[in-house]
Structure 1
Amino acid sequence: MYRSSSLTRRTPLGRWGLAAGVLALSAVALTGCGLQPSTSYVPALGPGSITPLDGAEGVELTVTSKSFTEQLLLGKIAVLAGTAAGFDVTDLSNLPGSQPTRELLLSGQADVLWEYTGTAWLTYLGQEESISDQDEMWQAVHDLDIDNGLTWGTPAPMNNTFAMAVRSEAVVELGGITTMSELAALPVEDRTFCVEAEFNSRPDGMNPMLARYGLERGAADGVPDSNIGIYDTGAIYSATDDGACNFGEVFTTDGRLDALDLIVLVDDLAFFPAYNVAPVFFTETIEAHPGLEEIFAEISPKLTDEVLRGLNRQVDVDGDEPADVAYAWMIEEGFITDPTS
Structure 2
Amino acid sequence: MDTRKCIAALIYPDFMSLDVVGPLQVFASANAERNRQGLGDAYRVLLLGEQVGPVNSSSGMRLLADASWADCDPSTLDTLLIPGGAGETLQCENLALLDWLRRAEPQIRRLGSVCSGALILARTGLLDGQRVTTHWADVDSLREHAQLQVDADCLHTFDPADSRAAHLFTSAGVTAGIDLALALVEADLGRSMALAVARRLVMFLRRPGGQAQFSALLAPEPSRTPRLAELLAWIPGNLGGDLSLEALAEQARLTPRTLSRVFAKELGTGPARYVERIRLEAARALLQDAQASISTVARLTGFGHPENLRRVFHKHLSVSPLEYAERFGREIHHA
Larger Rg: 2
Q: Same fold (TM over 0.5)?
A: no
TM score, norm. by length of structure 1: 0.28
Say which structure is richer in strand.
1
Tell me the TM-score normalized by structure 2.
Answer: 0.28
